[in-house]
Amino acid sequence: MTPNRRPKNDLAWLVLWCALLGVMAYHMVWQIHKVAAFNSNAFDLAEWVSLHPTVRAESPALFTPLLLRLPLILLAGMMVTASSILQAEKAKWLWRGVALLVVLRLNPPTDFYPWGGGSPNDQQLGRLTAFGLVAISLLIIGGHWLRFFWKPTTLALLIAGLITAIEGYNRAQKVLDSIQIETGIGGGLVLYIVFLLSPLAVIVISSTRPFLLKTSVRTAT
């Protein structure tokens, strides 16, 4: 029984640590500029572009900042999903706690409370925080069932995490180009992509290997 479970746990641990490293990369420099003050991580970049009139006029509103902020919720979702198959309850709850803290990174300024006030930017942060907490709570509650299909769920979260981050960055760069601020890709974005692509590739390979083996056996016979 142990040999059968170990590969699953190894893959889960890979997802967990890559998700945590992804959170760290999220807070590293995503855009570089010759003036250090313009160097921004993903969270600051979302805040910065949210002030631009064209971004505020987007439909849906503030779509570019939304894309740049969603990865935090997706990374938290990966942590809860992968931790669902861990055998140690303490480890499960530790990672669930980390996931909740990652979502709380989106917590808006006090102007949003108690009745959802503040700027449109604050309102988006507040709604994302509420959505993230509800989503993570539902994943925790459904952890017993989630472990039976954690691989496809994790795969979907990884793909969504890559798409939202890359598209959000590209849209933000177009905004900066429109006001003639020349920037380049920072190491944080590169690392973020690497940390998410690594478990994605392992999951795809591990999932397709049994199919390829069956196909080769049938061909041989």
Q: Can you give the pLDDT at residue 59?
A: 86
Residue type, 60: P
> Which burial class, exposed, middle or buried, applies to 47 when counting CB atoms under 10 A from its CB (0-12, 13-18, 19+)?
middle
> Which burial class, exposed, middle or buried, applies to 4 when counting CB atoms under 10 A from its CB (0-12, 13-18, 19+)?
exposed
Contacts of 158 (CB under 8 A, 6+ apart): 78, 196, 199, 200, 203
Q: CA 109 to CA 50: how far, in whole Å?
A: 15
What distance separates the 2 farthest-apart alpha carbons in the chain? 70
The separation between CA 139 and the C-alpha centre of its own chain, rounded to angstroms, equals 15
What is the rounded average pLDDT of the residues 166-184? 89
Strands (E), the chain: 31-32, 184-185
How does the average pLDDT of the chain come out, rounded?
89
Say whether pLDDT at 218 is over 70.
no
The separation between CA 212 and the C-alpha centre of its own chain, rounded to angstroms, equals 30
Share of the chain above pLDDT 70, in %: 90
214 pLDDT band, cuts 50/70/90, is: low
Q: CA 81 to CA 153: how far, in whole Å?
A: 7
Q: Can you give the pLDDT at residue 3?
A: 45
6 pLDDT band, cuts 50/70/90, is: very low
2 pLDDT band, cuts 50/70/90, is: very low
User: Global pTM?
Assistant: 0.89
